[in-house]
Amino acid sequence: MRHYDWLASHAFTTPNKACWVDLHSKRSFTFEQANDRSKKLAAYLDQRCGVEKGDRVAVLAMNSTDMMEIHAACAKLGAIFLPLNWRLAAPELDFILSDGTPKVLIYDTANKELVEALTEALPAMIETTGGGGNSEYESAIAGSDGKHPTPEITHDDIWTILYTSGTTGRPKGAINTYGMAFINAVNMGSPWGITHQSIGLTVLPLFHTGGLNCFTTVMLHNGGCSLIMRTVDPGQILEIIDDPSTGLTHFFGVPAVYLFMSQHPSFDTTDYSRLVACGIGGAPSPVPLVKTYLKKNISLAQGFGMSETSPLVSGQTMEQAVEKPGSAGRCALHGELKVMRNETTEADSDEVGELWVRGPNITPGYWDRPEAKASDWVGDWFKTGDAARLDSDGDLWIVDRWKDMYISGGENVYPAEVENTLFTLEGIADGAIVGAPDDRWGEVGVAFVVLNEGVDLSEDDVIAHFHDKVARYKIPVRAIFMDVLPRNATGKVLKRVLRDQI
């Protein structure tokens, strides 16, 4: 199936409608302007950098509309968008660059020192401010004639490579095709009411599928407008939601973003009535946090996804978010899922097993990693590595990552379940549970705790809170107090860092 240029189509049908707004630089682009800039960038990449169909274009930059222009320019050439995590160290980026072998690196001034520390040789580099003004990037667009080749692109061609965090080894580049992007736009668009009149706020990093595809590319496909925030600012998010002149309708965040918003002084006075949908995902969502928003009549529609799955695998409607807080919803329209007891047998209802998925929303594989097919796939089923269960209604519940589960006295303990109990303790601002080696029980739980300002809780207070609320083998044996939990760029707690501190 052929891929059609989404941006060019909207530029033709609604040229004067807002497409992207860069909140950091206060720049706004209509569909016609965004398409024109993307065409000129594509022409420059073709004529001056030799970028052809299938070549990689790497980007190391904070969130800005520049990122979306580069993404769109790649689609015009059939080039592959390769966004890089600016939180990585230079040696980690060197590995990804050597693996992905991009033809050009576009970077912003904020990351110039990081770029200078790279040792991997690159054919071409372009610097941008990420906010307009004088830069190589803006000069490239201004001086371009906008004439570029238009190769035929199909849904099987690669649009983006998203490198995973590499928590179990070297990062792997998850291939995302044009077909995956299309299916994700369909899977997410209708259930969450995204139309050409929608206005979404992008706060997660655009190098991550949560920032790029929830809901930014979905907005693009449907002709809506995306407001791009440079970095997460809970106060600014609440200001934008509260502003009637902005008319924000859609927002997506990870649990940490919603947690920090709920702790902001403006949370109780913000008007949320214009929001059509608030999506939450990227990590298990603590039920107490979801209920905090329900008290404000805000339904956080939870879903499950990965870089390898477009990302949407399952999701809740707004109604299901009220009825079953904590569930990851039901299987997306175009896709399949099942929970497996082992490699050959499906789990029973409410039995915990490994989540497997398949469908047109699933990656065909990892960049230059053919061996991964043997370990991560069984036939055309992709093994997610997540512990999950399906209830009698067919709703998916993500229990935890298999790698975060620990075994205490022969019993499986899923930290996310224990964390839900931790968050019910008054005075807890943030927290996480990890497993630690123990001579007697094999492994035991350790709670890492961040307290609200002015709260005085002891280690005994924290441990005592779990008694009569969870099974004895799930009760943490220690509590370690911290000022802040280590998190990655998308807000996930870095549990490997916590384990190193035990």
Q: With a cut of 90, say whether residue 269 has pLDDT above it.
A: yes
CATH 3.40.50.12780 in the chain is located at 1-178+186-231, 232-403
Q: From CA 229, how far away is CA 44, in angstroms rounded?
A: 27
Q: Given pLDDT bands bounded at 50, 70 and 90, which one contains residue 318?
A: confident
**Cα dihedral across residues 398, 186, 219, 247: positive or negative:** negative
Query: Which of the 8 DSSP states describes residue 19?
Result: E
The tens digit of pLDDT for each residue in 343-361 reads 999 999 999 999 999 999 9
Sequence-distant (6+) residues with CB within 8 A of 322 are 294, 299
The tens digit of pLDDT for each residue in 179-200 reads 999 999 999 999 999 999 999 9
- Report the SS3 class of residue 446: strand
CB of 145 closer than 8 Å to CB of 191? no
**Model pLDDT, residue 213:** 98
Q: Given pLDDT bands bounded at 50, 70 and 90, which one contains residue 400?
A: confident
Task: List C-alpha distances in Å: 283 to 43, 96, 423.
Answer: 39, 24, 15
Sequence-distant (6+) residues with CB within 8 A of 374 are none
Distance of CA 279 to the CA centre of its chain: 11
**Model pLDDT, residue 489:** 81
Q: With a cut of 50, say whether residue 303 has pLDDT above it.
A: yes
Once rounded to an integer, what is the mean pLDDT over residues 205-222?
A: 97
Task: List C-alpha distances in Å: 312 to 329, 383, 386, 471.
Answer: 11, 15, 15, 33
CB of 278 closer than 8 Å to CB of 301? yes
**Model pLDDT, residue 375:** 84
Select the highest-mean-pLDDT range: 86-95, 194-203, 251-260: 194-203
- Report the SS3 class of residue 63: coil
Q: From CA 59, how far away is CA 488, in angstroms rounded?
A: 18
Task: List C-alpha distances in Å: 154 to 1, 75, 159, 414.
Answer: 5, 11, 10, 42
Q: With a cut of 90, say whether residue 165 has pLDDT above it.
A: no
CATH 3.30.300.30 in the chain is located at 405-500
**Model pLDDT, residue 131:** 97
Q: With a cut of 50, say whether residue 167 has pLDDT above it.
A: no
The tens digit of pLDDT for each residue in 40-65 reads 999 999 999 999 999 999 999 999 99
The tens digit of pLDDT for each residue in 418-472 reads 999 999 999 999 999 999 998 888 899 999 999 999 999 999 999 999 998 998 9
**Model pLDDT, residue 168:** 46
Q: With a cut of 70, say whether residue 84 has pLDDT above it.
A: yes
- Report the SS3 class of residue 343: coil
Cα dihedral 69→75→95→496 (10° resolution): 70
What average pLDDT does the chain have?
95
Pairing of strands 18-22, 27-30: antiparallel
Longest dimension (CA), the chain: 71
- The dotted CATH code for 1-178+186-231 is 3.40.50.12780
Token pair for 214: 């929830």
- The dotted CATH code for 232-403 is 3.40.50.12780
- The dotted CATH code for 405-500 is 3.30.300.30
Token pair for 489: 């760029």
Give the burial class of 381: count Cβ atoms within 10 A of its Cβ; 0-12 exposed, 13-18 middle, 19 or more buried.
middle
The tens digit of pLDDT for each residue in 134-154 reads 999 999 999 999 999 999 999
Once rounded to an integer, what is the mean pLDDT over residues 472-488?
A: 95
Once rounded to an integer, what is the mean pLDDT over residues 192-209?
A: 97
**Model pLDDT, residue 169:** 60
